[in-house]
Chain A
């Protein structure tokens, strides 16, 4: 996987973006975490969240002008969360605030000129980072201006408590120390010379005198870089009310400047870039998407005590109103993304790390191979992130580097090989025609599931379309594409293209959504149309049996997600058939049946959960226009119809109850279809394909074979080999034989007995290891 591409994918997923409240906060208080703490009564935890953002958490909790609240997404349905009151509740009930934990002492010394909010915040921030800090304040005590605030807004003991917590830090406080521009111990020049860095936070009054020769802006004060708070003097930084005046005083802006100055001075003293990676400094707009459509409106909890703020109980109730903001749009709709317990941004990194393992176990191989590649995540993602792109890239890379587990897609790829073999493939003009204006491509799965429907469709197309309708029996190669096996996929595409060329490059009509998708995406030069608009019920037998409900829930196959031509033509046909359809969701938001991406073979449990989740969406019988989807629902026990079961009902008793044919029957059906068409359409003599030996087995046995992905043909070949060579074991106690046969890379074992000339299968299993 390409590293840069991985990074782009990670950036595309917005789940880890800050919630709107945090992004709107100049110091990025994690208000979502704070409300989570309060909701469970953990006020101490809530206060720790504040302390993590600023060095004066109690003061902040009391005087913050909470710009976060006006951005709160809860207000999409009711009132915004009262974050300001919740902060105050933390400062009330979560005391004491966690003590600052300073890092190891550094040698550099920093002078802070001005002991207001911005100065003290900077001093604390730098002292925590291990610098030796001195504050020079002209007045008798620190935070002088704050003490003029009304006691109900900011009680003096709150200021004292925050300052007391800073005493353990390496901060020397010099009060009544008026810094002048003149020479002397409290002269700015001397301080600038004596210290490694200086932060000027002189308050809002205009500086009308030349200070340290610093460049000025207009008539008011020092020129300050808005991002870094740097001045024209390399070791002097400045901020606080000085930079905002004459705008009204904003305590949170001063505290934020303290944080910004801390970062800048720390970087300056460490020789790092002042400006790098500070794009989201201060308030910004978050990319986080939050779906509030389903949110029930609620009003903010009223503080019964008025100015005293919330009681503990009130605070908890209010905090529980928090949504909390997160995206997870894809995880909500996808069983796969949900099952692995995280979200795409993390999955991308995990998958990349999995691929980078050189020595050791790649634990996530199964996860990489468990995505259905259905594209639902992209359809719901506000940023159009595609998990399919990520896992397909990873699969292709695994195949290229021979790191794909051999067993992962082996069974499906052998099924593909069967569909590309002589047993199934066919490309012919319509009898009596030397060319084909059109060719019918039914797809290998419809041929496997309902060969009789393929024959009926082909007959109908021959009768209704001019210019000769050819037939192509072939697999489009989608299993190889899903498996990440580019070589096998290209081979499949090449032979499909060759068949199309042999027929004179006609337009194709397909009954398979996967074929449609593969052709559209990978062979765009081949004109392809869905079958459905070409089926007009008026000219077709349409005797629907009573067992078929006239109201059906429609399931769209994921392969043609969002392809209106396909979705609408299928609906139109159902309408003409007199079927009222129930939409399970918007057609573009359909889910996979568990076959897509070959999940069924790699992670049958997940595939089962996926189809079961879909089946539960409606009690109505399902109708779909993908043979694989229909059979997957049938396998799950959900009554389901293929649209062709309605078009060619042909007196079937209860087509919605038709069972899933299973893997073995699917191959037999394909081979049978080819023989049938050669015989009935082209009048060729086809020797009947009678099985060489007769097998008997219980239904339970057939299910076991399905579950273990052993074909009846594998069983037959194993017994045949044993009977021909005598290579078998005998159990004298039961009279049963146990035979093994290795084909390519799998050893099959079959326990059987004889019954006349037939063979009764009692058990079968397989392994890939070779034992000698």
Chain B
């Protein structure tokens, strides 16, 4: 499986709209009425947030499932 190489902090991706590199910034993850502050790569221009594969299939999935069982 090809990896999402751009998700590593060492190699920030570039926003396709704003043409600027992503920077680390505070964002909020929402699910089933709960909110979690989290630091992720985002576009300083349009605010587009990158959710890397490791997060989506790892911790984020775990939290989703835990919230669903509440």
- Binary B-proximity of A730-760 (CB < 8 A = 1, otherwise 0): 1111101110100000010101000000000
CA distance A614 to B49 in the complex (A): 46
Which chain A residue shows the least CB distance to B46? A727
Q: A727-B16, A730-B14, A772-B27 are in contact. Are A407 and B6 (CB under 8 A)?
A: no
Nearest CB of B to A367, in Å? 11
Contact A763 B64 (CB under 8 A): no
Which A residues lie within 8 Å of B70 (CB)? 360-362
Residue of B4, B7, B28, B51 near A767 (CB, 8 A) is: B51
Nearest CB of A to B25, in Å? 11
Contact B69 A737 (CB under 8 A): no
Which B residues lie within 8 Å of A769 (CB)? 29-31, 60, 63-64
Which B residues lie within 8 Å of A362 (CB)? 69-70
Nearest CB of B to A696, in Å? 13
Contact A738 B69 (CB under 8 A): no
Which chain A residue shows the least CB distance to B18? A726
Q: A734-B5, A763-B1, A765-B56 are in contact. Are A771 and B13 (CB under 8 A)?
A: no
Nearest CB of A to B49, in Å? 5
Which chain A residue shows the least CB distance to B16? A728
Contact A361 B66 (CB under 8 A): yes
Which A residues lie within 8 Å of B30 (CB)? 769-772
Most chain B CB within 10 A, of A405, A765, A770, is at A765
Residue of B5, B51, B63, B66 near A736 (CB, 8 A) is: B5
CA distance A730 to B20 in the complex (A): 10
Which A residues lie within 8 Å of B65 (CB)? 405, 407
CA distance A729 to B53 in the complex (A): 14
Contact B51 A763 (CB under 8 A): no
Contact B60 A731 (CB under 8 A): no
Which B residues lie within 8 Å of A246 (CB)? none
Nearest CB of A to B50, in Å? 6
Contact A407 B2 (CB under 8 A): no
Contact B3 A763 (CB under 8 A): yes
CA distance A738 to B5 in the complex (A): 10
Contact B2 A762 (CB under 8 A): yes
Contacts of B1-45 to chain A: CB distance below 8 A:
1-7, 11, 13-17, 22, 27-32, 38, 40
Which chain B residue shows the least CB distance to A354? B69
Which B residues lie within 8 Å of A704 (CB)? 1
Contact B1 A730 (CB under 8 A): no
Residue of B5, B55, B63, B69 near A731 (CB, 8 A) is: B5
- Binary B-proximity of A346-368 (CB < 8 A = 1, otherwise 0): 00000000000000111101000
CA distance A406 to B1 in the complex (A): 28
- Binary B-proximity of A83-127 (CB < 8 A = 1, otherwise 0): 000000000000000000000000000000000000000000000
Asked if A523 is at the interface (CB within 8 A of a chain B CB), the reply is no
Which chain A residue shows the least CB distance to B40? A771
Residue of A700, A726, A731 near B17 (CB, 8 A) is: A726
Contact A733 B11 (CB under 8 A): yes
Which A residues lie within 8 Å of B38 (CB)? 771
CA distance A406 to B6 in the complex (A): 30
- Binary B-proximity of A395-419 (CB < 8 A = 1, otherwise 0): 0000000000111100000000000
Residue of B2, B11, B55, B66 near A751 (CB, 8 A) is: B2
Which B residues lie within 8 Å of A725 (CB)? 17
Contact B68 A365 (CB under 8 A): yes
Q: A747-B51, A763-B53 are in contact. Are A406 and B28 (CB under 8 A)?
A: no
CA distance A762 to B1 in the complex (A): 7
Contact B68 A406 (CB under 8 A): yes
Name the interface size band of chain A.
35 or more
Contact B16 A726 (CB under 8 A): yes
Asked if A286 is at the interface (CB within 8 A of a chain B CB), the reply is no
CA distance A737 to B4 in the complex (A): 10
Asked if A722 is at the interface (CB within 8 A of a chain B CB), the reply is yes
Which A residues lie within 8 Å of B4 (CB)? 738, 749, 751, 763, 765
Asked if A665 is at the interface (CB within 8 A of a chain B CB), the reply is no
Contact B51 A740 (CB under 8 A): yes
CA distance A701 to B68 in the complex (A): 29
CA distance A432 to B52 in the complex (A): 58
Contact A731 B6 (CB under 8 A): yes
Asked if A766 is at the interface (CB within 8 A of a chain B CB), the reply is yes
Asked if A768 is at the interface (CB within 8 A of a chain B CB), the reply is yes
CA distance A704 to B57 in the complex (A): 13
Contact A733 B5 (CB under 8 A): yes
Contact B53 A771 (CB under 8 A): no
Nearest CB of A to B33, in Å? 11
Contact A729 B63 (CB under 8 A): no
Contact B29 A749 (CB under 8 A): no
Nearest CB of A to B24, in Å? 14
Which B residues lie within 8 Å of A766 (CB)? 56
Residue of B1, B16, B28, B32 near A729 (CB, 8 A) is: B16
Residue of B29, B55, B61, B63 near A770 (CB, 8 A) is: B29
Nearest CB of A to B59, in Å? 10
Which B residues lie within 8 Å of A726 (CB)? 16-17
Which B residues lie within 8 Å of A406 (CB)? 32, 68
Q: A727-B48, A729-B50 are in contact. Are A767 and B64 (CB under 8 A)?
A: yes
Contact A770 B31 (CB under 8 A): yes
Contact B64 A729 (CB under 8 A): no
Most chain B CB within 10 A, of A733, A738, A766, is at A738
Contact A365 B13 (CB under 8 A): no
Contact B14 A768 (CB under 8 A): no
Q: A738-B6, A769-B60 are in contact. Are A729 and B15 (CB under 8 A)?
A: yes
Which A residues lie within 8 Å of B7 (CB)? 738
Which A residues lie within 8 Å of B53 (CB)? 749, 763, 765
Which chain B residue shows the least CB distance to A404? B68
CA distance A405 to B69 in the complex (A): 6
Contact A731 B13 (CB under 8 A): yes
Contact A727 B17 (CB under 8 A): yes
Which A residues lie within 8 Å of B63 (CB)? 769
Contact A763 B2 (CB under 8 A): yes
Which chain B residue shows the least CB distance to A402? B32
Nearest CB of B to A745, in Å? 10
27 example contacts (A-B, Cβ-Cβ < 8 A) are as follows A361-B66, A361-B70, A365-B69, A407-B64, A407-B65, A407-B68, A408-B68, A700-B1, A725-B17, A726-B17, A729-B15, A729-B22, A730-B13, A731-B11, A731-B13, A732-B14, A733-B5, A738-B7, A749-B4, A751-B4, A751-B6, A765-B53, A765-B56, A768-B31, A768-B64, A771-B51, A772-B27
- Beyond A408-B68, A736-B6, 6 additional contacts (C-beta under 8 Å) are A362-B70, A722-B16, A727-B17, A767-B60, A769-B63, A772-B49
The 3 residue pairs across chains A and B that have the minimum distance between CB atoms: A405-B68, A731-B6, A762-B2
